[in-house]
Structure 1
């Protein structure tokens, strides 16, 4: 016997009574069958309801051949009349996300003459996929249109249709359907075959907010939030904007300009640092002129700085220039010879002896080692390099 679906008759029903028809052990607790239920089973991209059934926690709900199975954490007596209570916060969130997605998808498909080819309602983000290229600027226009539709508080129409009656309806569907088909209509925005739970009026969606659009397969994937999720996201974003504004001593709406100013200042400082660094490296290279093989230890530097110091020294020392920058136990290195002589055997042996990684070619190598300074110095001496520090 198929389970009576109370969630279709009243999606706002939060508690109900029913008779237990069956209770069998499952993989994660027990599977209970009722004569009727308000618990929505996972389907159509919408997650299952959670809640409580006769004191037992309902952790999952799914449908099989018209029978709805409730996954609970303990057994319930067959034949018993039980009370079920829906986790309303979870259900209403799903209704807001699902209805908001319908409104947006309908408007997008109408404007861009495309198809909705994917829908996923995650715990945090909703994603919808379309087989068309949709620019962000035009997507924001859809967002404004969707929110206007929500503000107008349109009634939602949900009915089952079949046969010729169904054929006469222009509705969205990802696959051919037969028999009784549930058509969810948002007048003026969308008409779609759907098995999920929805709000009764568009105003109950609250609002929609698009977060991003990116290339996905042959079209795009859009991330969005609806209802309370969108409100919480915007509230959190605003608090972060206020905090950033306070640190920059500007109003939140002026944060972008302030950050651009800081980026310019940072770029100038980086250029100045590079110029000063270059001057220091030239002086160090002069100090090592004609000394042959040179081993230098420096405080931690960026990898490109380590290489530039090595390059400068290798051009003057007349031998191998080995620069190690970091602290005891971990050093970044750059090794090289101005004459291009192959140093790969040395680098390979060094990486093995000093727990290093890295390499190079044409008289140059760069990487890192996990070793103490004394171990590094010993390695070069033991391998026949008359190192001058």
Structure 2
């Protein structure tokens, strides 16, 4: 016997009473079937409702052949009447996301003559795939249109047209449908076959905000937030931007220009530091001219500085040069001995200093898990 689906009769129903028809244990969980339910099962890209049923937590809801099965944390007595309460915050969040997705998808598909070929309502964002190459600027224009439509507060209509009536309707669907089909309509924005729960009017979506537009095969993948999630995202972004503005001593609206200016200053300083570093390496190389074997342990080198210093000193010292850069027990190394075979030496060094790395033709580089004292002790013994 199919379960009576109260969520279709009233998507805003938060609590209900129902009879327990069956309860089966499966791997420490209990699968409960009721005669009727307000818990929406996972489907159509919308996650399942959570909540409480008969005093025990409901962690998943699935439907098969019209029967809705609730995954519960504890058993419920067959034949008993139980009280159910859905997690309304979770449900309404899903309703806002799903309705917002319908509105933007209807507008995008109409504007670019494309199809929605993928839809996933995640824990953070909604991802939607379209089989058309849509530019970010075009996405933002649809976002503006969708928010205008939302604020006008158009009603959401749900109908079950006959097959003959459906033939005359330009509704969206990902596949050919037969039998009873549920159509969800936001007049002037979208008409789509859908089994999900929706807000009663577009105004309750509140807000839609696209976060990204990525190339995907012949189309694009968009990331979207709606309603409470959109508000939370914008609040976090504003607070972060405000914090950046305070650190840069500018107003929140001026952070982009300030960051660009600071970026140019950083590049200038990096170039200056690189020049000073090259001069330092040259002076060190002269200091170790004809010194033979050289070991340098430094704590101030970044990037490829270890290799570049080793290269500079190896050109003047006339022997093997080893440079280690790091702190504590983590060091990067470069070893250069022009014309020499370093393979056995580096293998011995890696074994002694718990290192990884190697090379050829008189050059080797890698890392060791040893402190400065251990590094110096090893080189005193070789």
Instruction: Indicate the RMSD between aligned Cα atoms, in angstroms.
Output: 1.6
> How far 1:23 sits from its partner (Å)?
2.1
Q: Go from structure 1 to structure 2 and tell me whether the alpha carbon gap of 1:373 and 1:85 turns closer, same or farther (over 3 Å shift).
A: closer
SS at match of 1:161: coil
Bigger mean CA deviation after superposition, 91-100 or 6-15: 6-15
> How far 1:24 sits from its partner (Å)?
2.1
> How far 1:145 sits from its partner (Å)?
0.8
SS at match of 2:183: strand
Task: Give the unaligned 5+ runs of structure 2.
Answer: none
> How far 1:340 sits from its partner (Å)?
4.0
Structure 1 residues 235-271: Cα deviation after superposition (integer angstroms, max 9, x where no partner): 1111111111111111001011111111111111111
Structure 2 CA distance for aligned equivalents of residues 127 and 47 of structure 1: 13
Structure 1 residues 177-221: Cα deviation after superposition (integer angstroms, max 9, x where no partner): 110011111111111111000111111110100011112233221
> How far 1:344 sits from its partner (Å)?
2.8
Q: Counterpart in 2 of 1:107?
A: 107
Q: Counterpart in 2 of 1:219?
A: 219
SS at match of 2:160: strand
Task: Give the unaligned 5+ runs of structure 1.
Answer: 384-389
Q: Counterpart in 1 of 2:356?
A: 357
> How far 1:328 sits from its partner (Å)?
4.6
Q: Counterpart in 2 of 1:336?
A: 336
> How far 1:59 sits from its partner (Å)?
1.6
SS at match of 1:170: coil
Bigger mean CA deviation after superposition, 356-365 or 139-148: 356-365
Q: Counterpart in 2 of 1:233?
A: 233
Q: Counterpart in 2 of 1:143?
A: 143
Structure 1 residues 10-64: Cα deviation after superposition (integer angstroms, max 9, x where no partner): 1111112222222222334322222111111111110111112222222211111
Q: Go from structure 1 to structure 2 and tell me whether the alpha carbon gap of 1:297 and 1:74 turns closer, same or farther (over 3 Å shift).
A: closer
SS at match of 1:181: coil
Pairing of 1:1-389 with structure 2 (within 5 A): 1-337=1-337, 339-383=338-382
> How far 1:84 sits from its partner (Å)?
1.6
Structure 1 residues 90-121: Cα deviation after superposition (integer angstroms, max 9, x where no partner): 11110000000011111111111111111111
> How far 1:329 sits from its partner (Å)?
2.6
> How far 1:171 sits from its partner (Å)?
1.5
> How far 1:382 sits from its partner (Å)?
4.2
Structure 2 CA distance for aligned equivalents of residues 116 and 185 of structure 1: 16
Task: Determine if contact 1:147/1:208 at 8 Å carries over to the other structure.
Answer: yes
> How far 1:161 sits from its partner (Å)?
2.6
> How far 1:381 sits from its partner (Å)?
4.8
Q: Go from structure 1 to structure 2 and tell me whether the alpha carbon gap of 1:215 and 1:354 turns closer, same or farther (over 3 Å shift).
A: same
Task: Determine if contact 1:321/1:336 at 8 Å carries over to the other structure.
Answer: yes
Q: Go from structure 1 to structure 2 and tell me whether the alpha carbon gap of 1:59 and 1:372 turns closer, same or farther (over 3 Å shift).
A: closer
SS at match of 2:70: strand
Count of residues in Structure 1 that have an aligned counterpart in Structure 2: 382
Task: Determine if contact 1:156/1:185 at 8 Å carries over to the other structure.
Answer: yes
Question: How does the TM-score come out when normalised to structure 2?
Answer: 0.95
> How far 1:316 sits from its partner (Å)?
0.8
